[in-house]
Amino acid sequence: MTDGGAILEARGVTKVYETRGVETRALNGVDLAIGEGEFTALSGPSGSGKTTLLNLFGALDEPTGGEVRLDGEDLAGLGAAALSELRLRKLGFVFQAYNLIPVLSAVENIEFVMVLQGVAAAERRARAGALLREVELEGLGGKRPLEMSGGQQQRVAVARAIASRPRIVLADEPTANLDSETASRLLDLMERLNREQGVTFLFSTHDPLVMERARRNVRLKDGRVVADETKTAA
Amino acid sequence: MILRLAWRNAWRNPRRTGILVVAVAVGIAGTLLTMALNYGMVFQMVETAIATELGHLQVHAPGFDANPELAVRLTDGGRKGLSTLDGLAGVRAVARRVRGEGLLSSPRASAGVRVIGIEPEREARITRIAASVTDGSYLDGVGRRVLVGEALAERLEVDVGDKVVLTVQDLAGELTGEALRIAGLFVTPSYELDTSTVYLRLDDGQSLLGLGGSVSEIVALADRRSRVPALRARLASELGDGAEVRSWDELQPVLVYLIEVFDQSALIVYGAVFVAMAFGIANVLLMTVYERTREIGIMRAVGFGRRALVATIVTESLLVTALGLGLGFAVALACVLWLGDGLDLSYFAEGLGRYGITSRIVPVLRSGDFTAPVGVAIVTAVLASAWPAWRAVRLRPAEAVRQT
């Protein structure tokens, strides 16, 4: 991936956590670029640094060393408000579980980011309705998260993540709490969005199913990239 | 969105929020009701003072305020004052009086008394003395008769129709007395009137006190209390240096002081109630912030800014407080309406009578009683949410989203 085509880029990124005087090196000089339209999985054993790297790409945390760039812009030095705005405009998130705001219905959860973006109410409703159809949850828009299954909740989370029309969706273990059939259907959905709408996805995962579906697999171990394989089209 | 989130968050745990709302409501209602009863008592003291003796305005000869002696009198018989007051809009009634001091004696006992000579018909339009007669009759055209309080009559062991001797020091400084017959007995909310005041006709008083045609004072009643300051200024301007014009609050400044004391004590009570309330609200909000750590992290991750987060928590605090306030107001109003005829304090009646308070206290709520707690509540709600909001914005999204 060239510098010019990268949405996200890590250059010599290190991340050190310190707890009661004990330092833990979660990332140790990671160089990685994610290009537009990719469907990439970050995998590796627990403690390999995949979630840490995803958090740094998601502007949820700051590196101890190196640079993280989004659309070529170094995130270092941006204030909390600027990072929040950047997440709102350019990034979509799908977390492992309990992704949704429980007091809002499915459609309100999808509209949530659009409200923050200042999208007009009529357009919001139209887009949220279309996204519900897209994730095959038409008719369930009025349901609260607790009234939905785990798979349905993750589909709403995907709809919310792409509702803001982000540059990339970061998904942290999105299938971890789902059975294999539900996980497969969720991946079908994300693959379709990637293929048909060009939505870029970056996963952190342990799940072999996700790795199997990903077109690019980046393997981390002890805070370093130890493998980076891109599948060739069949 | 913020209002919707705040409202729904407030009701995620209905029992907890319900308890908080009820606690706020009980505090507000209790405080309001206490204030209403306290103010009702003060209001009654003021009304009693005005309706039994003070009136709204009094006119005296210059120097009466500093030296209220018999010699300081309106030598024109109050005619100028009367005609001026009669011509002023907003004056409901006017009467003249003479005042002195004396000794009222029966065959069995005697008591020091205030002697007040009144114009019976005019006085009846100003004070409640005519309506307070419980036995015998009010003063009428027949002279040499007196009205005394039931308590005084009991002390002197006399009754309606009995003769008493009223001894006074007249204008010339001579001791003089006259035998008078008791026309009637009265009971008022005023201990002082009931135990140590004798009413007689104005001409009998002038004669007994050697005042000739002079009077001690003119008393006037306005059609509403709010008109008194303007009437006082107008009357003072019309009468010039020839008279002293004073309003009820100048004649009894202690009543005004009492109202101010009650208003200030209300603020202290509100302060105490709201401080306790603030801890309750802060506690509940802190718990909800801890419970929602992951959710707050996710909201922050998808772009919910710090300001919006603070606004949501402050709004939640304001909503809960507003509910408590509304419920408290409703309960207080319902109690005040229920106590419309007053709260019976007859057990303490004798003690209260010394302060011009009847045995039945009617609670009085003023508009300010509602506006003051609203202001304090808004400040309390914002302050109470400051700590939880600070906790929430300090959460690091990367750590918060990992919370389970």
pLDDT, tens digit (0-9, with 9 covering 90-100), for B33-89? 888 888 888 888 888 888 888 999 999 999 888 888 889 999 998 899 889 998 888
The residue in chain A having the minimum alpha-carbon distance to the alpha carbon of residue B303 is A88
Out of A60-69, A73-82, B230-239, B365-374, pick the least confident: B365-374
Cα dist. A61→A56, A68, A74, A75 in Å? Answer: 5, 10, 13, 10
pLDDT of res. A124: 93
Contact list, A117 vs chain B (CB under 8 Å): 303
Give yes or no for residue B295 having a pLDDT over 60: yes
Give one word for B128, left, alpha or beta, with left for phi > 0 and alpha for psi -120 to 50: alpha
Distance from the B390 Cα atom to the nearest Cα atom in chain A, whole angstroms: 15
Interface membership of B326 toward A (CB under 8 Å): no
pLDDT band per the 50, 70, 90 thresholds, residue B281: confident
Contact list, B5 vs chain A (CB under 8 Å): 101, 103-104
Contact list, B1 vs chain A (CB under 8 Å): 112, 115-116
Residues 6 or more apart whose CB falls under 8 angstroms from that of B329 comprise B28, B29, B32, B370
Distance from the B9 Cα atom to the nearest Cα atom in chain A, whole angstroms: 7
Residues 6 or more apart whose CB falls under 8 angstroms from that of A95 comprise A157, A171, A172, A173, A174, B298, B301, B401
Walk across the sheet containing A22-35 and list its strands.
A22-35, A6-19, A65-70, A73-74
In this structure, what token pair is assigned to residue B103? 């000794």
Cα dist. A146→A141, A149, A153, B120, B340 in Å? Answer: 13, 8, 9, 81, 50
What is the rounded CA–CA span in Å between residue B404 and residue B402? 6
Give yes or no for residue A70 having a pLDDT over 60: yes
Distance from the B254 Cα atom to the nearest Cα atom in chain A, whole angstroms: 57
Residues 6 or more apart whose CB falls under 8 angstroms from that of B385 comprise B281, B282, B285, B313, B314, B316, B317, B318
Interface test with B, best of A95, A108, A168 (most B CBs within 10 A): A95
Could you count the other beta carbons within 10 Å of the beta carbon of residue A197?
11
What is the rounded CA–CA span in Å between residue A58 and residue B42? 66
Q: Give the residue among B145, B201, B210, B200 at the shortest CA–CA distance from B175.
A: B210
pLDDT band per the 50, 70, 90 thresholds, residue B350: low
CB–CB of A61 and B398 under 8 A? Answer: yes
pLDDT of res. B57: 94
In this complex, the residue of A60, A81, A89 whose CB is nearest that of residue B397 is A60
Could you count the other beta carbons within 10 Å of the beta carbon of residue B75?
11
What is the rounded CA–CA span in Å between residue B385 and residue B393? 12
Give yes or no for residue A144 having a pLDDT over 60: yes
The residue in chain A having the minimum alpha-carbon distance to the alpha carbon of residue B308 is A116
Contact list, A172 vs chain B (CB under 8 Å): 401
Distance from the A60 Cα atom to the nearest Cα atom in chain B, whole angstroms: 5
Interface membership of B397 toward A (CB under 8 Å): yes
For the segment B296-349, what is each residue's pLDDT rounded down to a tens digit? Answer: 888 888 888 888 999 999 999 899 989 999 999 999 889 888 887 777 766 665
Interface test with A, best of B302, B313, B319, B395 (most A CBs within 10 A): B302
Is A172 or B377 the better-scoring residue by pLDDT?
Answer: A172
pLDDT of res. B349: 58
Interface test with B, best of A116, A144, A154 (most B CBs within 10 A): A116
For the segment A88-108, what is each residue's pLDDT rounded down to a tens digit? Answer: 999 999 988 767 999 999 999
What is the rounded CA–CA span in Å between residue B215 and residue B99? 8
Q: Please report the number of interchain residue pairs, chain A to chain B, with beta-carbon separation below 8 angstroms.
A: 71
In this complex, the residue of B8, B306, B398 whose CB is nearest that of residue A103 is B8
Distance from the B229 Cα atom to the nearest Cα atom in chain A, whole angstroms: 57
Give yes or no for residue B176 having a pLDDT over 90: yes
Half-sphere exposure of A47 (CA within 13 A, CB side): 3
- Percent of chain B topping pLDDT 70: 96
For the segment B184-218, what is each residue's pLDDT rounded down to a tens digit? Answer: 999 988 888 899 999 999 999 999 999 999 999 99
Stretch (H or E) spanning B191: helix B191-196
The residue in chain A having the minimum alpha-carbon distance to the alpha carbon of residue B294 is A98
pLDDT of res. A233: 64
In this structure, what token pair is assigned to residue A13? 């990124």
CB–CB of B303 and A88 under 8 A? Answer: yes
In this structure, what token pair is assigned to residue B193? 């009137």
Give yes or no for residue B380 having a pLDDT over 50: yes
Distance from the B302 Cα atom to the nearest Cα atom in chain A, whole angstroms: 6
pLDDT band per the 50, 70, 90 thresholds, residue A27: very high
CB–CB of B398 and A116 under 8 A? Answer: no
* pLDDT average, residue stretch B275-303: 84
| Average pLDDT across chain B, whole number | 87
The residue in chain A having the minimum alpha-carbon distance to the alpha carbon of residue B404 is A98
Interface membership of B311 toward A (CB under 8 Å): no
Give yes or no for residue B144 having a pLDDT over 80: yes
The residue in chain B having the minimum alpha-carbon distance to the alpha carbon of residue A160 is B302
Give yes or no for residue A4 having a pLDDT over 60: no
Residues 6 or more apart whose CB falls under 8 angstroms from that of A218 comprise A32, A40, A41, A42, A43, A225, A227, A228
Give yes or no for residue A3 having a pLDDT over 50: no
Q: What is the DSSP letter of B112?
A: E
Give one word for B86, left, alpha or beta, with left for phi > 0 and alpha for psi -120 to 50: alpha
Q: Report the SS3 class of residue B386.
A: helix
Cα dist. A89→A100, A119, A138, A215 in Å? Answer: 19, 12, 26, 26
For the segment A171-191, what is each residue's pLDDT rounded down to a tens digit? Answer: 998 888 788 888 888 898 889
For the segment B94-114, what is each residue's pLDDT rounded down to a tens digit? Answer: 999 999 999 999 999 999 999
Out of A52-66, B202-216, B266-280, pick the least confident: B266-280
Interface test with B, best of A15, A75, A84 (most B CBs within 10 A): A84
- Percent of chain B topping pLDDT 90: 43
Q: What is the DSSP letter of A173?
A: S
The owner of tokens 């990671």 is: A30
Q: Report the SS3 class of residue B335.
A: helix
CB–CB of B401 and A81 under 8 A? Answer: no
pLDDT of res. B74: 92
In this complex, the residue of B299, B301, B404 whose CB is nearest that of residue A60 is B301
Q: State which amino acid sits at residue B397.
A: P
CB–CB of B303 and A115 under 8 A? Answer: no
